[in-house]
Amino acid sequence: MITDIALLVNPRSGQGRTAAVALRALRHLRASGASATVLVGRDQADSLALARRAVAAGTGALVACGGDGVVNTALQAVAGTDTPFGVIPAGTGNDHARMLGVPRHDPVSAAQVVLDGAVRPIDLGRVGDRWFGTAFAGGFDALVTERTNRLKWPRGKLRYNLATLIELAALRPLDYVLELDGRTVSTQAILVAVGNGQTYGGGMRICPDAVPDDGLFDVTVIGPARRDQIVRLLPTIYPGTHVQHSQVTTYRASRVHLSTPGVMGYADGERFAELPVTCECVPLAAKALVPA
């Protein structure tokens, strides 16, 4: 059993639910005999500094409580170290929890996964000196995320749906150049996703065959399509059947260079890097705590 735990909490995620989730998890950890220290940063940079300090001090596990953004912060601290990381899901997306099989709606069960201490080494994606766990994407989905973040109303998924409609009205394919382990592909596309895991955006199986410990990314490219085709295609991303569409192409590679002008890429739900970027799949770069 892991008994020394640093719990990194983002109380601003999950529309304010995180504090209550963190408290339930913390009570279970301590009632089970673990020593759990709570880390709450003033902002992302401060949270990362606290996480790195805990890892350097030898914590038994760094556990992220919140959404995929705080998990991404934890990954920056544990990547390339022997310190395992865990997840107490409390965000709106929780795609890391999906990837790892961690219970998403029961903080006590998620905390028990941490205590049990079953470790699964997983690959991570790297862009420059930053790491990601689920997927890096640039294109229509990134534009929707940017629009969603600018909208003040409505809240929750309705805001994302409204942003989708706004961006759909202005939709146009972009010219992309992809370099996949040395192979160059020039294409027009409305979306390119580089997946270490299968899902992003709260369960959308954008790369449905991705495996996070095989040393390879799955790359999904959605080519030019009419708006009515896109409207029909988007719902099929949730079950992952979009890959059967004639406008969808998939690849596998360990190194992906992605280039198109004027697009901001997102990873783990966070604004990550403006294209062009190079994504590298780093084999077994982190140790995840998973159900036994």
Residues 6+ apart with CB under 8 A from 31: none
The 10s digit of each residue's pLDDT in 20-54 is 999 999 999 999 999 999 999 999 999 999 999 99
**167 and 275 part of one domain:** yes
User: What's the distance, CA 24 to chain centroid?
Assistant: 24
**113 and 239 part of one domain:** no
**280 and 148 part of one domain:** yes
**260 and 221 part of one domain:** yes
Domain termination residue (choose one: 63, 86, 117): 117
The 10s digit of each residue's pLDDT in 106-155 is 999 999 999 999 999 999 999 999 999 999 999 887 788 778 878 877 86
C-alpha span between 122 and 285 (Å, rounded): 6
The CATH code of the domain that includes 39 is 3.40.50.10330
Residue 168 within any structural domain of the chain: yes
Residue 67 within any structural domain of the chain: yes
Residue 213 within any structural domain of the chain: yes
The DSSP call for residue 257 is: E
C-alpha span between 183 and 178 (Å, rounded): 8
The CATH code of the domain that includes 144 is 2.60.200.40
Out of 66-80, 86-100, 172-186, 220-234, pick the least confident: 220-234
Cα distances (Å, whole numbers) of residue 140 to 134, 149, 241, 265: 18, 14, 18, 10
141-145, 198-202, 217-221, 259-263, range with greatest mean pLDDT: 217-221
Question: Rounded mean pLDDT of the chain?
Answer: 94
Residues 6+ apart with CB under 8 A from 234: 164
List the domain range (segments joined by +) for residue 200.
135-284
Count: domains in the chain: 2
DSSP 12-43: TSGGGTHHHHHHHHHHHHHHTT-EEEEE--SS
Domain termination residue (choose one: 117, 149, 176): 117
Higher pLDDT, 231 or 248: 248
Q: Helix 68-78 crosses helix 44-56 at what angle (to 10 degrees)?
A: 40
**113 and 167 part of one domain:** no
**140 and 251 part of one domain:** yes
Domain termination residue (choose one: 51, 85, 117): 117
Q: Looking at the whole model, is its pTM more than 0.85?
A: yes
Cα distances (Å, whole numbers) of residue 248 to 165, 197, 202, 236, 244: 21, 18, 21, 12, 7
**105 and 241 part of one domain:** no
Q: Which of 15, 73, 16 is nearest to 39 (CA)?
A: 73
**68 and 20 part of one domain:** yes
User: What are the φ and ψ backbone dihedral angles of 264, each rounded to 5 degrees?
Assistant: -90, 130
The 10s digit of each residue's pLDDT in 188-209 is 999 999 999 999 988 999 999 9
